[in-house]
A = this chain, B = another copy of it.
């Protein structure tokens, strides 16, 4: 057995959802796009549905179909990309709720599936998805006559609470939607933490559920244990790994573990990330390669059989800092070769 083990703590996930839910007086949904941020949308979705989540969000209709099979009928599954060309059968057969992003999508939806549920996604300034203010002004009366179930938008800078873009998008969103009798949603995790002004009728946290920033109080959801497949002694001056980037400065003991960038352990993290043998810290040395990582275990008094890369001491955000990215990318990159174990 030389594949690494990824343990996903569904109890921690549910606790994170409850903690975010307790910060608001409104309904709290859950974003489970990108296969539940890499942790399996079916496992994640079922655990959250048991805890009371009734509103789920995915990126594309194909993901919605997979989630519907896992959840069964009942919970609302909303699709951020809306109703794209070719999506009609998936939306109809899986009772998905597209968040319509444009006049084109609105026409496609009401022509193909008259009477079927939908929401509206507005662009309040991120310029990525959603209807522009002018487009919305032209379409609004027609759209409202079709009874949308939700009007939403997305914040570009919610991870930076002091960024002036937050108040600006809030203001635009309110201008576009005040006075309408349709439920509204603006906040993902970051927006939920910005406070009640941003909550409207539904918050829809994503990354915070999975233990990621900007939700500082999040419990760690993932633990990643890498099996040691070989340990060797080095003399000072010997080098390790591709391009000889690490040289032993003292007599050293180097463990080779079975996992690499093909398992989503981003190649760039090699320079500063560490692993853990119980409570003891063992630094990664040399380059992360496709299937293997080398670790300095010189200071241990024993030869470990596993080294832990992700836990509550080194979270997805810590690993992201080491790799020059964000916790979201660490999560969604977690690879296909792991043995996955779900707790809870």
Contact = CB atoms under 8 A, between A and B. Distances in A.
Interface in A219-263: 227, 229-230, 232, 234, 238-244, 254, 256, 258, 260-262
A333 interface: yes
A1 interface: yes
A34 B101 CA distance: 38
Classify the interface of chain A: helix, strand, loop or mixed.
loop
B244 A157 contact: yes
Nearest to A84: B2
B267 A325 contact: yes
A298 interface: no
Given A81-B229, A329-B261, A290 B337 contact: no
A60 interface: yes
A65 to B, nearest CB: 11
B1 A86 contact: yes
Given A127-B240, A157-B242, A165-B239, 8 more contacts: A2-B86, A35-B262, A84-B227, A127-B286, A262-B332, A267-B325, A290-B329, A333-B333
21 contacts: A1-B84, A2-B60, A2-B84, A3-B62, A34-B262, A35-B337, A59-B291, A60-B258, A84-B258, A85-B305, A126-B240, A128-B240, A128-B286, A128-B292, A129-B230, A129-B256, A129-B292, A157-B244, A163-B243, A261-B328, A262-B332
